[in-house]
Amino acid sequence: MGSGAWLLALLLLGFAACAAPRQDPIVQGPLAPGPVPPRYQGRLEALSAALESDPDSLAWSMVRRLRVQLQWDASRGMGDLAGARAFVEGAASVLEGRTRVAACDFDLQFRRGDNRPELELVLVLESRWPRELVFIAGAGQLTMERVFVEASGKLARVSKQVALEEAPQWSVVPDHPTEISMGSWPLSMSTETLAGRLEVHLRLLLAEVRDGDDLFSAGRLETSPAMHVELAAFLPNGALPLQDLVPAVLDQGIGIHGLMERLVRLSPADYSEARGQITALIGRATDLEISVRIAPALRWVTQGSYPGSDPREWRLWASQQILKNSGALDPSGLDLPGS
């Protein structure tokens, strides 16, 4: 979850200066900030790039090699190494923090008490690290999106961001989950709404993780969204199997209201597969079927951007999705002769 983006930012600023690292097992005494010598700039740029890719083993290998090189240069009396050393130890702190983050699960859950209209959002922290960990962040932010759909297929989205009132500082010990309440979240469905969906995810900014007396950078931490779908009171509560939904999309014997009633009963766990199967219908559908039936269905199960009302845009979008899922797109984005 951590990121080396701040290291890359330093590179783009021309290595003007590096912040002095905190005391931890990696750093042997305080290091004064200073400029990075030109002979190290290329290697530190490569290290920054390695921090942005998986797995971390490459970045760790580069850190070890750079430490040896720095020690060798120091033994030869070179005195301009403080900036490069601070850069390398900052990268090591990020990697140490990532190791601890990877041993933890951050799970957002919606819960509803008996006879309560609002939902409680709970963060559940679980750790497999052998010692207590404390996560500290400069700020926390919840991103919320409410999606409402009517029986006609009309869809409305409401999004906003909410800052946590207090900077997070959460501790977790191995094999004992920690639960943190994130407050109450009403869905607020209107009488015309067939169904509503609430999604919230958490982002911790400038996060650090404390392990005993040692403090490491954890970068920016983000959770997967917590999701809750609520249906109108007149609808059955049982989830609809995917195989009962897809044939109904182009079944003219089922009106749009009937299609939408089936659609909103689909389990969110089936959204990804439903998106693929419904997208595949576009190739044999008429423009009217795309606009009136397929587009409303895809808007509900597609969590992200999608076209407007033009069937031609949907056909292009479908082609792009099929190519993307087949892996046929050139990752470089270039169609080169002979490639």
Residue among 79, 105, 88, 78 nearest 1 (CA): 105
Q: Specify the higher pLDDT residue, 329 or 130.
A: 130
Dihedral of the CA atoms 323, 324, 325, 329 (nearest 10)?
70
Residues in a beta bridge with 208: 136, 217
The tens digit of pLDDT for each residue in 108-138 reads: 999 987 777 788 999 999 999 999 999 999 8
Mean local confidence (pLDDT), 278-289: 94
Count Cβ neighbours within 10 Å for each residue of 29-68 and write b for 16 or more, e otherwise: eebeebebeeebbebbbebbbbbeeeebeebbebbeebee
Decide: 22 and 89 in contact? Cβ < 8 Å: no
Res. 22 pLDDT band, cuts 50 70 90? very low
Q: Is the pLDDT of residue 258 over 80?
A: yes
- Among residues 95, 182, 181, 173, which one has the least CA distance to residue 135? 173
Condensed to tens digits (0 to 9), the pLDDT of residues 181-223 reads 998 888 788 888 999 999 999 999 889 999 999 999 887 888 8
Domain ranges (residues) in the chain: 5-102, 104-231, 242-326
Select the more confidently predicted residue: 308 or 204.
204
Q: What is the mean pLDDT of residues 84-109?
A: 93
How far, in Å, CA of 91 to CA of 3, rounded? Answer: 10
From 18-22, 56-60, 278-282, the region with the lowest mean pLDDT:
18-22
Other CB atoms within 10 Å distance of the CB of residue 78? 12
CB-based contact 54:64 (threshold 8 Å): no
Burial (0-12, 13-18, 19+ Cβ within 10 Å), 154: middle
pLDDT digits (tens, 9 = 90+) for 238-248: 889 999 999 99
Q: Cα dist. 275→180, 249, 278, 299, 322 in Å?
A: 33, 12, 5, 9, 11
Residue 167 scores a pLDDT above 70: yes
Average pLDDT over every residue of 309-336: 71
Task: Kindly report the pTM of this predicted structure.
Answer: 0.73
Question: Average pLDDT for residues 281-294, to the nearest whole number?
Answer: 94
- Pairwise pLDDT comparison (288 vs 53), residue with the higher score: 288
| Distance, CA of 200 to chain centre | 11
Helix axes 38-51 and 82-102, enclosed angle (nearest 10): 10
Q: At what angle do helices 57-75 and 38-51 cross, to 10 degrees?
A: 160
Q: Give residue 337's pLDDT.
A: 34
Most confident range, picked from 41-55, 62-76, 182-196: 62-76
In which residue are the tokens 């021309």 written? 14
- Give me the helices (H) in the chain, please: 5-12, 38-51, 57-75, 82-102, 242-249, 256-264, 271-280, 287-289, 295-301, 311-326
CATH number at 104-231: 2.60.40
> Which of 28-32, 57-61, 114-118, 134-138 is least confident?
28-32
Q: How far is CA 268 from CA 199, 273, 280, in A?
A: 11, 10, 19
